[in-house]
Amino acid sequence: MQYPYSTPPGLTDKGPFGKFKHIEQNQVIHKIYRVTETSILKSKAGSICEPITVECSKKVLKWLRGQGIDARFVAEFPDRFVVRIGDGKLPEWFLKSFSEIEAKSIREVLSFDEGDLLYYFGDASQSMSPYDVLRRKSYRCPALRRLSIKVYYERPEYWEALESLFNRYADRSLLEFVELDPKSLKDIWDLDRGGVKLALLDGKTLESRFREIAEIKSRSYNGLSTLQLVNGDRLLGVVGGRGEEYYIANLLSGLLFRSGCIPYYVELPTTRSEYLKLPRALYVGVGLRKVGEEYAKGIAVLMTGRGNVVGYVDKDFHIRGRSMEFKEEELEEFVGGIKEALEKYRNNARENPELVVAVRSRKFHDAEWRTLKRNFARRWLRLSSGGLLLMSSYKYVGIGPSRAVEVGRTMVDGGLHGVWLVQLSKFKSAVKLGYFYTGNDATLPLAAYIYLRSLDFTSLTQARTSLPPVKYARNYLRWKYPS
Amino acid sequence: MGEALSAVVQRLLRLANRRCFTAFGLWCTRQFRKTVVRGFSHLFNRRLLETCFKELKARLISEERELCRVVLLGWMDFVARAHGGELYWQFRELLPDALGFRQPDGSIAIDCRERRICNEPGLCLKAYLFCKKRRMEKELRSLAAGTPYAKAASVLLGEGDIPEECGGLPKNCAVRC
């Protein structure tokens, strides 16, 4: 089967054994350097401050830029600089003052990469690609009967386009199980009814009735929205194009997930004990959104290591404050909400997660680490679990595909704190992973990022950098506070 | 004529009995899972067990789906245990390679004492075949019903036959009394 686009795992990208071939592209445009020798720098720059603190790094950076070196420093480790490598070579004095922290292949660091993940579907079938969701039964579905999804369309041609794509690409076994139930949309508030719905709306309606749609959408959240919105005009544009198959696979996977199914199970290709915490960890995605001059930051979505959303901190409960980080009293309030959701999960699932992973797009600060550690990583508390990993991820600079570099690592009270840059094979730039971890394996956050990313059933593209529970929480805030 | 017929009948009866013993032996290994039938295995139709084992092995070689491989290995385990002797040692020899546990330096990539193995159901199934630990059995029983992992687990626990999607039970392995 051939995938025409470059984002999903196309046949051309596969090696002889069906795994991703590591294509070495000369796109390494940033390298990481650490200040090792200040004497040469001093003689060149006049007076260079020491030790290298954030304030000092700002001065060094200013001077470096004056010398034509495009750089930035890493706030968590101010003696580490990320330098853009242009056509010209770096001057000799630079190479004498700074030493490179070399990037390695992800496989070298973890012994696997995202191309090695195995996707298990129903009927014991396995695949190297999540796009097989079109051809295989879901790994698990709570519905024993046929799954019926209501499709509200604003114009009949939207439904016709969807139906033709669905019939063309969905396998017969899937068609037997999933049924699309079309209905003409009479009133936008029809979408405010129970059950999983797909709405094919006119681009103009999406704009003109945005406020009402946002309200309906935010009301449909239960950790995850049960309403899937599709711009019908975009759908028409997809028909006949190269991305048809991906489009329908993404849509179907999302709908199955919203209906309570787990489209596939992701198996970690490792026997490393530390990484085996990940399938049974509990993931807490924290959302953040700027609302006027403030930030909404209290929404959290709880997700299991199988990818299903099992709880959320009440959608009406979220904190609005001036800073992106939590202040101590805000965090205590938020932690209370998470504990409640965690307790509910524990009682329902009768499972005590060995590891709690809190993820957000903004980096965690020392004070946040201390509060969260006190609440979630103390074994003698009933509510505590074995370990705690705080992880932040956001797009950074390019370091080259399939590469990872450990920018820095340090011991903090009760664990490890560090920063990784990781660029998966289809990423255009690296993702900066900052972490605090109660354990002692510094590579776990990297493995957790790859694993967690693969559990996003609402977007199957290999180029996505966001992590599902954060995305779900953020999307909720997006609809709750439309700009 | 009468004598010859009687001899044939006698022989058929003997064969039927041995078949019954074999079916019973296979049933025992599936029930108790860790048992290697020694002392009784000469009563079994060992050739039947060998044919079944060979067929399972041939299917294993051409099977690429991990879960189906696990299921086939599960049955090979029962058959080898019922046969005892050479077949059992042959099976133990091939198991680490068939499960993908053998590392390039010859060491085994799995630690049977590691409790986290069963956090990953696929790995737990394989580890159970290799380690046969009681707590792994418990974990396998707790796998969510309706998932392919649970189906494979039921086979390893002696409660199910090779599922149709994995080609079903080979004809030679359907030993009935």
- Cis link prior to A51 (omega < 30° from 0)? yes
Same domain assignment for residues A387 and A431: yes
Chain A residues close to B148, C-beta within 8 Å? 120-125, 139
A141 contact residues in B (CB cutoff 8 A): 146
CA separation for the pair B89, B38 (Å, rounded): 13
Q: Residue B14: count other Cβ atoms within 10 Å of its Cβ.
A: 10
CB-CB neighbours of A421 under 10 Å: 25
Residues in chain A closer than 8 A to B160 (CB atoms): none
pLDDT computed for residue A346 by the predictor: 83
What one-letter code names the amino acid at A227?
L
Nearest to A367 by CA among A434, A412, A322: A412
User: Are A464 and A364 within one domain?
Assistant: yes
Choose the mutation target among A112, A276, A385 for the interface with B, i.e. most B CBs under 10 Å: A276
Q: How far is CA A55 from CA A73, A325, A367, in A?
A: 11, 21, 20
Residues A52 and A124 in one domain: no
Give A267's contacts in chain B (Cβ within 8 Å): 120, 122-123
Q: Which two tokens stand for residue A462?
A: 């290999």
Q: Is A277 on the interface with B (CB under 8 A)?
A: yes
Does A276 lie at the interface with B, CB-CB under 8 angstroms? Answer: yes
Kind plus residue range of the DSSP H or E element containing A197: strand A197-201
Boundary-marking domain end, from A200, A233, A258: A258
A307 and A403 in a common domain: yes
CA A369 to CA A437: how far, in whole Å? 9
- A304 located within any domain: yes
Same domain for A314 and A359? yes
Q: Which residues of A touch B144 (CB under 8 A)?
A: 140
Instruction: Please tell me the predicted confidence (pLDDT) of residue A200.
Output: 96
Residue type, B90: Q
Question: Of B57, B8, B53, B3, whose CA–CA distance to B26 is shortest?
Answer: B53
pLDDT of B45 over the 80 cut:
no
The answer to whether position A312 is within a domain reads yes
Residues A314 and A194 in one domain: no
Chain A contacts in chain B segment 85-104 (CB below 8 A): 101
Nearest to A139 among B68, B114, B147 (CB): B147
A288 and A254, same structural domain? no
**Nearest-Cα residue of chain A relative to residue B66:** A126
Give a yes or no: residue A292 inside a domain: yes
Instruction: Quote the pLDDT of residue A142.
Output: 80
- In chain A, the number of structural domains is 3
Q: Provide the shortest C-alpha distance from residue B171 to chain A (in Å).
A: 21
Residues recorded for chain B: 177
Q: Does B49 touch chain A (CB under 8 A)?
A: no
- B5-30: per-residue pLDDT in tens? 777 766 655 655 677 778 888 888 88
Does some domain include residue A14?
Answer: no
Complex confidence, ipTM = 0.78
- State how far the Cα of B88 lies from the Cα of A326, in Å rounded to an integer: 61
Element (H, E) at A247: helix A244-258
Element housing A304 (H / E): strand A300-304
Which residues from A are below 8 Å from B146, CB to CB?
140-141
DSSP state of A350: -
- The answer to whether the CB of A269 falls within 8 A of the CB of B108 is no
Average pLDDT of chain A is 86
- Min Cα distance A26 → chain B (Å) is 32
Tell me how close the Cα of A260 comes to any Cα of chain B, in angstroms.
14
Asked if A279 and B67 come within 8 Å (Cβ–Cβ), the reply is no
What distance in Å separates residue A279's CA from the closest CA in chain B?
A: 6
Residue B121 CB neighbour total at 10 angstroms: 25
With contacts defined as CB-CB under 8 Å, which chain A residues touch B110? 271
Whether residues A331 and A454 fall in one domain: yes
| CATH number of A471's domain | 3.30.420.10
B111 CB neighbours in chain A (<8 A) are 273
Query: B120 and A265 in contact by Cβ < 8 A?
Result: no
Which of A184-188, A298-302, A442-446 has the lowest average pLDDT?
A: A298-302
Question: Looking at A55-64, A217-226, A341-350, which range is the least confident one?
Answer: A341-350
pLDDT of A350 reads 76
Please list, residue by residue across A346-374, b when 16 or more beta carbons sit within 10 angstroms of its beta carbon and e when fewer do: beeeeeebbbbbbbbbbbbbeebbbbbbe
> At B5, phi and psi to the nearest 5?
-65, -40
Range of the structural domain that residue A93 is part of: 30-102
Judge if A96 and A193 occupy the same domain.
no
Does A118 contact chain B (CB < 8 Å)? yes
pLDDT tens digits, residue range A287-336? 888 888 888 877 888 999 989 898 887 655 567 777 777 887 888 888 88
Rounded to two decimals, the pTM is 0.87
Q: Is residue A434 domain-shared with residue A286, that is, in the same domain?
A: yes
Looking at A258, A282, A297, the residue that finishes a domain is A258
Distances (CA, A) of A422 to A403, A404, A441, B85: 6, 4, 17, 52
CB of B123 within 8 Å of any CB in chain A? yes
Taking the Cβ of residue A124 and every Cβ of chain B, the question of whether any pair is shorter than 8 Å is answered with: yes
Reduced to 3 states (helix: H, G, I; strand: E, B; else coil), residue A431 is strand
Answer whether B144 sits within 8 Å of A276, measured CB to CB: no
Strands A98-101 vs A71-74: parallel, antiparallel or unpaired: unpaired
B166·A122 Cβ contact <8 A: no
Nearest to B165 among A118, A124, A271 (CB): A124
Interface test with A, best of B110, B111, B120 (most A CBs within 10 A): B120
Two tokens, residue B53: 């084992």
* DSSP calls for B88-144: HHHHHHHHHHHHT-B-TTS-BS--TT-GGGGGSHHHHHHHHHHH--HHHHHHHHTSP
Are the beta carbons of B165 and A123 separated by less than 8 Å? yes
Paired sense of beta strands A294-296 and A320-321, if any = antiparallel
Range with the lowest mean pLDDT among A32-41, A232-241, A360-369? A32-41
Q: How far apart are the first and last CA of chain B?
A: 29
| A112-168 per-position pLDDT tens digit | 999 999 999 988 889 999 999 999 989 988 866 788 999 999 999 999 999 999 999
Starting at the edge strand found earlier in the chain, the sheet holding A98-101 runs: A71-74, A77-84, A30-35, A98-101
Statement to judge: residues A220 and A333 lie in one domain = no
Does residue B55 have a pLDDT over 60? yes
CA distance between the termini of chain A: 42
Residue A190 has pLDDT above 60, yes or no: yes
- How many CA atoms are closer than 13 Å to the CA of A430, on its beta-carbon side? 30
- d(Cα A76, Cα B130) in Å, to the nearest integer? 45
- Which of A118, A140, A277 lies nearest to residue B146, judging by beta carbons? A140
Tokens of A364: 């965690």
User: What is the per-residue pLDDT across A406-441, written as a single tens digit (0 to 9) for each?
Assistant: 999 999 988 999 999 999 999 999 999 999 999 999
Angle CA A457–A395–A410, to nearest 5: 105
Report the residue count for chain A.
483
Domain final residue pick, A200, A235, A258: A258
Q: Are the Cβ atoms of B119 and A139 closer than 8 angstroms?
A: no
The pLDDT assigned to A316 comes to 58
From A124, A268, A354, residue closest to B148, measured CB to CB: A124
DSSP-derived secondary structure for A68-92:
T--EEEETTEEEEEEEE--SSPPPH
> What is Dmax (Cα atoms) for chain B?
68
| Mean pLDDT, residues A92-102 | 90
Q: Given an 8 Å threshold on Cβ–Cβ distance, is B120 in contact with A123?
A: no
Which of A372, A374, A386 has the alpha carbon at shortest distance from A439?
Answer: A386
DSSP state at residue B59: H
Contact criterion met (CB below 8 Å) for B48 and B82: no
- Determine contact, residues A360/A435, Cβ cutoff 8 Å: no
Contact indicator for B74, B129 with CB cutoff of 8 Å: yes
With a cut of 70, say whether residue A206 has pLDDT above it: yes
**pLDDT beyond 60 at A3:** no
Considering the domain architecture, whether residues A277 and A424 belong to the same structural domain is answered as yes
The token duo for A267 is: 């198996």
Whether B166 contacts B65, CB under 8 Å: yes
A119 to chain B, minimum CA–CA distance in Å? 11
Residue type at B32 in one-letter notation: F
- The confidence score (pLDDT) of residue B99 equals 93
Shortest CA distance from B164: residue in chain A: A123
Residue in A173, A268, A271 to test binding to B, most B beta-carbons within 10 Å: A271
Write down the number of H helices and E strands in chain A.
14, 23
In this prediction, residue A337 carries a pLDDT of 82
Q: Is residue A157 part of a domain?
A: yes
Q: Which of B101, B111, B152 sits opposite A124 (nearest CB)?
A: B152
Q: Per the domain annotation, does A2 fall within a domain?
A: no
Shortest CA distance from B113: residue in chain A: A273
A139 inside 8 A of chain B by CB: yes
Compute the average pLDDT of residues A199-214: 93
Is B119's Cβ below 8 Å from some Cβ in A? yes
Distance CA B28, CA B158 (A): 9
How confident is the model over B148-169, as a mean pLDDT? Answer: 92
Return the CATH number at A167: 3.40.50.2300
Transcribe A305-345 into DSSP letters.
TTS-EEEES-TT---EESSSSPPHHHHHHHHHHHHHHHHHH
User: What does the buried/exposed string (b/e) look like for A189-219 if buried means 16 or more CB atoms within 10 Å of the residue's CB?
Assistant: eebeeeebbbbbbbeebbeeeeeebebbbbb
Residue B91, pLDDT score: 92
